Structure formats: C-alpha cells, structure tokens
C-alpha cells in the first residue's frame, strides 16, 4: 500500500467516523433545544397538566390540561394498531412464506411505494375519501378518531410488512425443514414454529410502528377533526399532541407561557417515542444475544 492510499484511507475513515458522531450531536442538540424552552414549564405545571381534560391556552386565565390530548393520541394509535398489526403481519407471512418469487418482488416494490406517499397526501385522502365514506356509513362527522386511525394504519403498514418480512426470513431454514419433517402442514409451521421464533423481531416492527404513529402530525391534524375531548365512540373527533403543536406554534408569542407549554408537549412526545424506540432497541439486542 502506497503512502498516498493509506492517507486517503485515513481521511475517508475519519469522515465516516464524523458522520457517525454527527447523529449523536444532532440528537443532543435537539434534546437541548426542546428542553431549553420546555423544561421550566413542564416542571412548574406538571401536576396541573395531568389534572384537566381542558386545553385552553389563549383564555384570560389559560388552562393547560393535556389529558384529552394524550388520550386522543393513544386512541388513534391504539385503534390504528388493531387494524395494521394483523394485516401487516399476515402480509409479511404471505410475502416470506407463500408468495412465489416474482410476486414477492413485485409486492415489495408496491409496499415501498406505499411508504413513499407524503404525510400530507394521506391527510388529503382522509379528508376527501375516508371522510365521505365514514359519513355514508352513518358517522355524524367524517373527520374523527376512526378516520385518523385508518390513515395512521395505512401509513404504518409498509413499515410493518417490510420489518415483519425481514424478521420471518431471519428464521433459519432448518426450523422450516424440521417442522416439515415432523409432518406439520404449512399453516401449522407458520403458527407453531415461525411466528414464535420470529416474535422478538415482529415485536420490534410493531414498536417502531407505534413510534411512527405517535409522532405523525400532518395527516392526523387533517383527518381527526382536531377537537379537544375524551372520545366516547369510534366516530368522535379527537385531537392529538402533535397536531396541537403544529396548529398553535405559529402564533404563540415566542418565550410566552403558551409557547413554553407547546415545547413541554414536545418534550413529552419526545420522551414517549424515545421510550418506545428504546424498548424496540433492547428487544433487538435481546434477540441477537439469544440467537
């Protein structure tokens, strides 16, 4: 190896190293930025925030209750998972175990295309297509929690299918051969051998899907009806944490209480998605060690 190649090698290595470190720098910078604006409010109003379902930051005496916003977020995410997890995992099983090679390749491209649809376009679909559809099914307002959940479900589906398929294909072929040798049908092989073996990987897929749903903003802002309340039925409009920040930050006076409150919401969201992603990460490590 000449001196010159060794020198370029070192330079490139250094650059790659720097790129890796930059991820840490960005994360830290984001945490510091949000924490700087939101921490004071979060700690001084923490109890108050959890005591009220009323979010009314522009009143003469403002009310910063976040219970309805948190419930709205979890409501949409929970409902969407009820739909996206079974469908997503079933699709992953089909792709990895049953689909012929060329069908699988074609379907994977389509699934990736689905993932490339921008969030605001999903919001449009919620307003223009699912809205009248739900209304024709008897909903009073088509912009509601169920609409938001359907949109979120469709948005997370590609993630679930791709990661789920990876998890299933990571199960060694010897498992399949052993199951077949024992006389298991394909269905028995999938339900009794593959799914249990791939469970940690599938769980990671679901958790990453949850993180994605919790943080989604534009589509839910458009589709949920954006109404602060505890939902009593599938067709009730709701409001999420993310949509509240997006809708109100524009005119909140910089440095004012409302502004800080929105950053406190951001901190809570960050903590929530961080916890979900950390769990997913620990699970991945768990599987690696187990394998």
- Residues 133, 139, 143, 147: is their CA dihedral positive or negative? negative
By C-beta, is 138 or 183 nearer to another protein? 138
Stretch that binds another protein, among 78-86, 100-108, 138-146, 208-216 (CB under 8 A): 138-146
Stretch that binds another protein, among 57-65, 113-121, 208-216, 276-284 (CB under 8 A): 57-65
Distance CA 225, CA 239 (A): 7
User: Which structure tokens are listed for 155?
Assistant: 């948005």
Distance CA 139, CA 29 (A): 44
Rule CB under 8 A: say whether 239 interacts with another protein: yes
7-29: b (≥16 Cβ within 10 Å) or e: eeeeeeeeeeeeeeeeeeeeeee
Stretch that binds another protein, among 19-27, 106-114, 226-234, 275-283 (CB under 8 A): 226-234
Of 44, 58, 177, 185, which one interacts with another protein (CB under 8 A)?
58
Residues 143-162 that bind another protein (CB under 8 A): 143
In contact, 198 and 171? CB cutoff 8 Å: yes
Closest CA to 35 of 245, 278, 260, 212: 260
By C-beta, is 143 or 171 nearer to another protein? 143
- Smallest separation (angstroms) from another protein to the CB of 128: 10
**Interface positions with another protein (CB under 8 A):** 54, 56-61, 63, 131-132, 135, 138-143, 225-229, 237, 239, 247-248, 250-253
């Amino acid at each position: 190896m000449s001196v010159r190649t060794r020198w370029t090698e070192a330079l490139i290595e250094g650059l790659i190293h720097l790129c890796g470190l930059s991820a840490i720098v960005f994360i830290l910078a984001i945490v510091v930025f949000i924490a700087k604006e939101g921490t004071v409010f979060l700690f001084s109003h923490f109890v108050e925030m959890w005591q009220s379902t009323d979010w009314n930051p522009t009143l003469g005496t403002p009310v910063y209750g976040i219970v309805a916003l948190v419930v709205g977020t979890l409501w949409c995410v929970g409902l969407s998972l009820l739909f996206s997890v079974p469908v997503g995992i079933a699709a992953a099983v089909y792709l990895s175990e049953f689909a012929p090679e060329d069908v699988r390749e074609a379907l994977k491209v389509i699934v990736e295309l689905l993932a490339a649809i921008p969030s605001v376009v999903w919001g449009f679909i919620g307003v223009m297509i699912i809205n009248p559809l739900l209304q024709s099914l008897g909903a009073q307002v088509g912009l509601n929690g169920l609409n938001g959940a359907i949109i979120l479900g469709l948005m997370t589906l590609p993630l679930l299918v791709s990661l789920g398929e990876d998890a299933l294909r990571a199960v060694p072929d010897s498992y399949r051969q052993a199951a077949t040798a024992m006389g298991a049908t394909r269905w028995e092989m999938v339900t009794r051998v593959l799914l249990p073996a791939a469970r940690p990987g599938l769980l990671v897929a679901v958790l990453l899907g949850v993180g994605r749903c919790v943080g989604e903003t534009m589509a839910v802002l458009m589709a949920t009806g954006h109404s602060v309340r505890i939902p009593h039925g599938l067709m009730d409009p709701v409001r999420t944490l993310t949509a509240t920040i997006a809708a109100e930050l524009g005119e909140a006076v910089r440095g004012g209480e409302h502004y800080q409150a929105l950053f406190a919401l951001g901190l809570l969201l960050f903590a929530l998605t961080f916890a979900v992603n950390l769990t997913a990460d620990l699970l991945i490590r768990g599987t690696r060690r187990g394998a």
